[in-house]
Amino acid sequence: MRVFTHPDLNFLATHLAQRIRTKPDTTALLEPEILVIQTPGMKRWLTLACARENGILAHTKTMMPREFIMHLGARLGISKDERNLFDRDVLPYAIYRILLTGLERQAKELEEIRKYLGDNVQDGKLLPLSQKIADVLDQYVLYRPDWIEKWQEGKRAVPQDPSELWQRYIWNELVKNTGKEELNHQASVAGRLVRALERLTNEEKKRLPRRVSMFGFSLLPPRFLQVFSRLGEMTDLTLHLQVPSLHYTGDLLSDRQIQWRERNAKALSDKGLEKIFTENRLLRNFGMTAKEFMELLLEAGDVTELYE
């Protein structure tokens, strides 16, 4: 995986448009250009920017990361490209049904939910609650897959937290309702993809897209990043990443980190502290997510800095 970085998003879009102007020699004539973006707004902006640069943008397939993961899984035959309970627009209603049934059966795991809803579970509070729980579980699937795996094994991930009981109950009921041994949610498919990409035959490698262009990301779930990293070893995969500065920012410390070092008698030398406080304080304190993401990318692929 190659990563191109620059502070100007317009510059990155122009660079991407120039790259996709011609197809790789190994690409089939009718294979679409694959663009992976983070938000619907970015999709609209990027397609207009590329069309403006090249005069036209056609025969492209633009997808969100989770959509691409499911697409790639279906392409390699390790998952089915079909609707399931874990789709974001289906999950809240599946949870609503589980809660309603569980409360009627007086499930002891749902005692906290029962206290929150009160005597009347049909007063309009249950559906908004189901939607909120769906959002949380969706984040668990992406960023806490180890919790999900423990729940499915009947174990607890956070024993000191009583709210884990009803969350585990809801998840295991969802799994039971699917009626399948292999789940078809994005984290499960991503995990199987990582393993599958390690042992692809030459014939299976022909099913991979010849070029994938990622654009405008600020963060990726670790398991998704593993998939893209593996895929980048076998195909032309690039990420155009906007960074806050052309200079390396990985060694910047936030005010809180500096205070922690001082309190623990690990303060920097006077010369080092003087250097820190002459740097951009806004960047030091609000660029931590970008810093952590860049560190992950440095481990996953080659980073190329673009200059005008």
Q: What is the mean pLDDT of residues 81-94?
A: 82
Return the amino acid letter for 161. D
Closest Cα to residue 38, out of 58, 81, 9, 77? 9
Q: What is the mean pLDDT of residues 154-162?
A: 89
Whose structure tokens read 């990409």? 197
Closest Cα to residue 86, out of 142, 166, 158, 129? 142
**Is the domain covering 2-80+212-252+287-305 a CATH 3.40.50.10930 domain?**
yes
Alpha helices in 105-163 (DSSP H): 111-117, 126-143, 145-152
Lowest mean per-residue pLDDT among 198-212, 249-263, 267-281: 267-281
Longest pairwise C-alpha distance within the chain: 67
| 1 CB-near residues (< 8 Å, 6+ apart) | 228, 229, 231, 232, 233, 237, 238, 239, 297, 300, 301, 302
| 98/261: higher pLDDT | 98
Q: Tabulate helix, strand, coil % of the chain (nearest 5).
A: 55, 10, 35
d(CA 7, CA 15): 13
Closest Cα to residue 231, out of 208, 263, 261? 208
CB burial readout 177-210, b (16+ within 10 A) else e: eeeeeebbbbbbbbbbbbebbeeeeeeeeeebbb
Is residue 248 within 8 A of residue 5, CB to CB? The reply is: no
Domain edges within the chain = 2-80+212-252+287-305, 91-183
**Is the domain covering 91-183 a CATH 1.10.1370.30 domain?**
no
Helix (H, G, I), strand (E, B) or coil at 245: coil
Most confident segment among 46-60, 73-87, 112-126, 235-249: 46-60
d(CA 95, CA 159): 23
List the beta bridge partners of residue 240.
4, 215
**pLDDT for the residue 270:** 46
| 160 CB-near residues (< 8 Å, 6+ apart) | none
pLDDT tops 60 at residue 179: yes
**What is the three-state SS of 50-72?**
HHHHHCCCCCEEEECHHHHHHHH
d(CA 166, CA 112): 8
**pLDDT for the residue 186:** 77
d(CA 193, CA 4): 25
Rg of the chain taking only CA atoms, in angstroms: 23
Most confident segment among 51-65, 169-183, 239-253: 51-65
pLDDT in tens, 187-212: 788 888 888 888 888 888 888 998 99
Average pLDDT score over the chain? 81
